[in-house]
A and B are shown apart, each in its own frame.
Chain A
């Protein structure tokens, strides 16, 4: 059941990214290009995506557990640390340079050509670097 729900969610996510135009790096970079030919589409995508989730977060506490009987994730502690700020800034910079964030990079891999594959593999490489750095930090502590 959990696998089925995950697959349905992943499939909808991929189709949503495709329909919204977010697999087109020109649209994403157009959104970030405030000082050029600015493209507001991404605001509609983000706004549209937040609406069902506003509802879901209101339904969740009333049901207490998910359909599969798991407690809902608790609110993260309000820690704004250097890791969050530096990571977010690094992500935003890379997002602008390539026009891909992780979701669309995965969704478009079958038609993104060599460029899309290069970006995705480098992104996975960055995740491995982060994981190794984290293990080192743990070992040093």
Chain B
């Protein structure tokens, strides 16, 4: 990354973040629902709360569809996703299991929970950040696998 590209990334980050926050505010003030990606996907997968499955499917459909349309128009950005499929399977299992045990992920705990000063969400966010920092340090700088 060149030095001149850094501020643009931060500005896009902030702008995208504001849109993410707006999306969560729409869901809260509109439907009295917490925007948690793991909760919305997980409850559909489990088939829990069947009364509201339809609206969750609308959410998930638009979550996939809107950026897909944007990508058709503007081109797809890099995802830099790993080519190591076994690693992705392990990581995916950990993310799926972990977010359901913790009842939330970056959106539910990090955005919606922290912004209402929920103790559980603040603790969860500190723990997943700490675990992420530690695993990255070990995997990239000690084991050299990332």
Contacts and interface: CB of A to CB of B under 8 A. Distances in A.
B93 A129 contact: yes
B89 to A, nearest CB: 4
B79 A106 contact: no
Interface string B132-146: 111111011100001
A73 B31 contact: no
A90 B18 CA distance: 28
B120 A78 contact: yes
Contacts of B114: 50
DSSP class of A's interface residues: helix, strand, loop or mixed? helix
Q: For this complex, into which size category does the number of interface residues on chain B fall? A: 35 or more
Contacts of B120: 76, 78-80, 84
Nearest to A128: B45
DSSP class of B's interface residues: helix, strand, loop or mixed? helix
Contact of A7 (B42, B62, B77, B79): B62
Nearest to B80: A26
Given A2-B55, A35-B137, A88 B17 contact: no
Given A54-B115, A89-B127, 13 more contacts: A9-B59, A12-B26, A49-B20, A51-B17, A52-B21, A52-B25, A70-B32, A84-B102, A84-B123, A88-B127, A91-B98, A97-B135, A106-B63
Interface of A: 2-27, 29, 32-37, 39-57, 59-60, 63, 65-68, 70-73, 75-76, 78-80, 83-103, 105-116, 118-131
